[in-house]
Structure 1
């Protein structure tokens, strides 16, 4: 891939609540003549504010942050700036989470474990108008494309299951009957192709359907 220095370096906003990650990414970018870090943010709210302030060419966006998460921040930024080019930077390879980010408006997806190898080429690709999704994540998205998606209520039930709550507690918390909880459980077991609560939580976490 060409690394010809443009007349104006690629201006980058880094959004992540971990200072070590921001420092590491900044150090990688600092050695490049064709790009520069113009701002940093630690929350989704700060990301929106900084985007308005500096109007970066490319934004690197973490997904799990205190307060507003990355997907909500992507949605808000893209609503206000439809041409925003945002790369998700995350530790999670789940297809469901990746698909939510892409639907929110992200045009790139990068796992933090591959930053040293892939960050610079991904930034240049996104800046030039292309998209980037790691092959393994694209394969997972394609594999599950025909699956029935979980409803918001099923996901809410599953989050409580992940917290270790029994059906009776879940029913009380969601203001539904215990029989309704059991119906939701049977449905999500079928959709996730699992046989018990532990498997359901394990699969949902791996795919990024829920977070803990």
Structure 2
């Protein structure tokens, strides 16, 4: 009977170790080669090498030289498996795709109030926390960063080019306009949605842009 208890205890311990390893803090070390290519390595908080990344797969890291639970990378052409930027953990496991915050520019979202916006293959927006856990599944057409536990969301949205061009493909910058706006709490619960403007909701909940 004691043997069974020891086996169960060991199994639980193994599962815990396997679970927490994915939440292990690490840092991306970038080495310049003197050419167009950069070499990326993941190291733990003691400076010990965890793994070297394949330079044929990754071309840029957006949060090097800081200890994080996930790192945000750009993947080379033909390797990207979804919209946005790829977030990986210490095991090089893909956790989610990070929302690009500025249309027409490489600008992956970053942690605000310990939350970062993520996207799925349908370009719907959700949120992950600082440990790389998805806390609000992607479901919103438009969603802002959080401010004091609230974020603005939009429904029935369309992309409007910022400037007029002969061809739509010539325009890299655009804004998104929605028929309805509302807001959610930090659990992802929709508190309010309706025929309001973004500004009306912003003033109602006191929402501010990050760093304001």
The TM-score with structure 2 as length reference comes to 0.30
Higher strand share: 2
Higher helix share: 1
The TM-score with structure 1 as length reference comes to 0.30
